[in-house]
Structure 1
Amino acid sequence: MDLKMPLILSYTPKVKVKTLALGVFSMTKISKEIKLRALTEYFAGRGGIRVIAAKHHISFRLFEMLVAAYRTHGSDVLLNPPQVTPEFRIEVAHWAISNNASYTQVAAKFGYVGMRQIQVWKEIYRNQGPNGLLSISKGHCLYQKDGNPE
């Protein structure tokens, strides 16, 4: 029996990344150019979500959200993302909770792909109501040292 092994290319892709240190873990930020290239490849039919996400070192979940948002909002998702205001946070959290929406559905509706931020906004909205989201300012730490929202 002759089993064919998949062809594995050995190369180092050119990936423009920025590593951000956030407490005890680090996060790699993928450039807009890389994300746009990956989206272009996906919509040109050059592979599935998982394959293209892996090729460009983008998490599957983030790429799935990007695809959904790009479908609805086009390149504005990357080039002109929504301005995050207290009102925007309230609208996103309220809609997500009211519709029991997935992060991908939120991305498609609002063109916003900040999964962790959406999670925290929903938690604050549930615990403190919309007023809890009014006091958050850009750069404000949303987490206590124990990892729970403030």
Structure 2
Amino acid sequence: MTKFSHEFRLKLVMEVEEGMPLGTVARNHNVGKRALHTWVYNYRSGGVEQLTAVRRRYTQEFKLSAIEYRRANDVSYAQAATDLGIPNEGTLYDWEKRYSEQGPVGLQDARRGRPPKMLKKENKRKKPMTREEELETENNRLRMENAYLKKLNALVAEREKSGKKTK
């Protein structure tokens, strides 16, 4: 959801279009001057449709052609964004920055948001163990249990021994 509704943006733009100073309108409605200036610019260049905040997905080819268009025509980010119908010039700036740092790979759609949870592994059916393997597994388990109990007895004996000396 956007911070400001379409109707609110249109109302502020109309106040500026009627002759009120941009700074005054921004101050009266507690909106940044830069944001209001962008809304007015978009309204003047593309009409009411440019004020609607719609999340758009752009292909890698479109992003690359937008960067090439801006460089070939030597226009500002704002002008190129308006010419290409991109609502915010910052988007075009980000694309160009990623392109210069990472190349065309940087323009691929990056998944946003929380990554999906780990998928559960398929229950692989274990092949049945032979009688010998079962006995070996049980033997190992009993050895570990025996070692654990011996260590526990040693710790209990040590505690009892040290407890008698301190009293």
TM-score range (shorter-chain normalised) is 0.5 to 0.7
Structure 2 residue 9 is the aligned partner of structure 1 residue 35? yes
Secondary structure of residue in 2 paired with 1:30: coil
C-alpha distance in structure 1 between counterparts of 2:113 and 2:71, whole Å? 23
Higher Cα radius of gyration: 2
* 3-state SS, counterpart of residue 84 of structure 1: coil
Q: Which residue matches 1:3?
A: none
Contact 1:97 1:122 survives alignment (8 Å)? no
CA distance in 2, matches of 1:140, 1:93: 26
Q: Which has the higher helix share?
A: 2
1:68 aligned residue: 41
Deviations 1:5-25, CA, capped at 9 Å, x for gaps: xxxxxxxxxxxx97xxxxxxx
TM-score (norm 2): 0.52
Structure 1 stretch 81-90 or stretch 117-126: which is displaced more? 81-90
How far apart are the structure 2 equivalents of 1:36 and 1:116?
21
- 1:1-40 aligned within 5 A: 29-40=3-14
- Structure with the higher fraction of residues in strand conformation: 1
Higher RCO structure (Cα 8 Å, ≥6 apart): 1
| 1:1-150 → structure 2 map (5 Å cutoff) | 29-45=3-19, 47-79=20-52, 81=54, 83-86=56-59, 87-137=61-111, 139=112
Q: RMSD value over aligned CA atoms?
A: 3.1
Residues 1:96 and 1:40: Cα distance change in structure 2 (over 3 Å): same
Residue segments in structure 1 that go unaligned for 5+ positions in a row: 1-16, 19-28, 142-150
Contact 1:69–1:108 (CA under 8 A) maintained in structure 2? yes
Deviations 1:20-48 (A, max 9, x none): xxxxxxxxx22222111111111122x12
Q: What's the secondary structure of 1:58's corresponding residue?
A: coil
Compared CA separation, residues 124 and 110, structure 1 to 2 (3 A): same
* Secondary structure of 1:96 counterpart: helix
TM-score by length of structure 1 reads 0.57
Q: How many residues align?
A: 113
Q: Percent identity?
A: 26
